[in-house]
Amino acid sequence: MSDHNEFNAEVTLALTGASGMPYAINLLKALVNANQKVHLLVSSAALVVLKTESQLNVPAKPELASRFFIELCQAKESQIKCYGKDEWFSPVASGSAAPKKMIICPASMGTVSAISCGASDNLIERAADVVIKEQGQLIIVPREMPFSLIHLENLTKLARMQVTVMPASPGFYHQPESIDDLVNFVVARILDHLKIKQALIEPWGYKK
């Protein structure tokens, strides 16, 4: 069976070296549960943060990393595909092959800066550049505090390019009882913007 028939859609998910890996892991699991094929990009700095925040020792080699995340998320055999930072022949590097939707979660300010000026020095930056130029949907989830004027100017520049900026700022009106509840608030909002059905958080004003 082809990927086109096996999965509902394809999406690119990039993890960079900012704090906030629980958001990334819960989002990845939610995308898998929604039967999305995930093209996964993990920076070298993200590997360090994954180990620090989530105690996940993700292999650096893309093939081994793919297997690691497939097992972690109990995904289908070909549902998660990792790429190295210099795999310029990967689908995400091409406007004719890349998914039209991409999330960078968490998004470091270095990555935000590079994307805002079109640096494309690694595969994450190039994949984001492709989504922007092809007029797809790019969502970035910055986890930084406070924002400097440099950060705000770069984020504003991206917003003017129709990039969706969704800071990792969970709400409290759903009366969270755990860290997972707070994390899933942000994940749910991302899924809502991707138009992927989710049952993590009830919408505002929902009454049982």
Establish whether 97 is an annotated binding residue: no
Cα–Cα distance, 140 to 142 (Å, whole number): 6
DSSP summary character for residue 25 = H
Tell me: pLDDT of 28 over 90: yes
Establish whether 108 is an annotated binding residue: yes
- Helix 62-73 to helix 21-33 angle (10° resolution) is 70
Establish whether 90 is an annotated binding residue: no
What's the burial of 82, exposed, middle or buried (CB within 10 Å: 0-12/13-18/19+)?
buried
Tokens coding 114:
């590079």
Cα–Cα distance, 83 to 98 (Å, whole number): 13
Q: What percent of the chain has pLDDT over 70?
A: 96
Confidence of residue 208 (pLDDT cuts 50, 70, 90): low
Superfamily (CATH) of domain 3-193: Flavin prenyltransferase-like (3.40.50.1950)
Establish whether 18 is an annotated binding residue: yes
Question: Quick check: helix, strand or coil at residue 80?
Answer: strand
The pLDDT value given to residue 1: 38
Q: Residue range 122-131: average pLDDT?
A: 98
Express each pLDDT in 88-121 by its tens digit. 999 999 999 999 999 999 999 999 999 999 999 9
Cα–Cα distance, 82 to 63 (Å, whole number): 7
Cα–Cα distance, 101 to 98 (Å, whole number): 9
Cα–Cα distance, 109 to 143 (Å, whole number): 8
Tell me: pLDDT of 9 over 60: yes
Tell me: pLDDT of 203 over 90: no
The pLDDT value given to residue 204: 74
The pLDDT value given to residue 2: 43
Q: Residue range 30-57: average pLDDT?
A: 98
Mean pLDDT of the chain: 95
The pLDDT value given to residue 174: 87
First vs last C-alpha separation in the chain = 41
Establish whether 111 is an annotated binding residue: yes
Whether omega for the bond prior to residue 146 falls within 30 degrees of 0, making it cis, is yes
Express each pLDDT in 137-190 by its tens digit. 999 999 999 999 999 999 999 999 999 999 999 999 889 999 999 999 999 999
Q: What percent of the chain has pLDDT over 90?
A: 92
Establish whether 109 is an annotated binding residue: yes
pTM equals 0.95
Cα–Cα distance, 107 to 164 (Å, whole number): 12
Q: What count of residues does the chain have?
A: 208
Q: Which of 111, 150, 152, 148 is nearest to 129 (CA)?
A: 111
Establish whether 164 is an annotated binding residue: no
Q: Residue range 61-82: average pLDDT?
A: 98
Domain boundaries along the sequence of the chain:
3-193
Q: How far is CA 64 from the centre of its chain?
A: 20
Establish whether 43 is an annotated binding residue: yes
| Residue pair 18/144 in contact by the 8 Å Cβ criterion | yes
Confidence of residue 3 (pLDDT cuts 50, 70, 90): low
DSSP string computed for 183-202: HHHHHHHHHHHTT----SSP
Establish whether 95 is an annotated binding residue: no
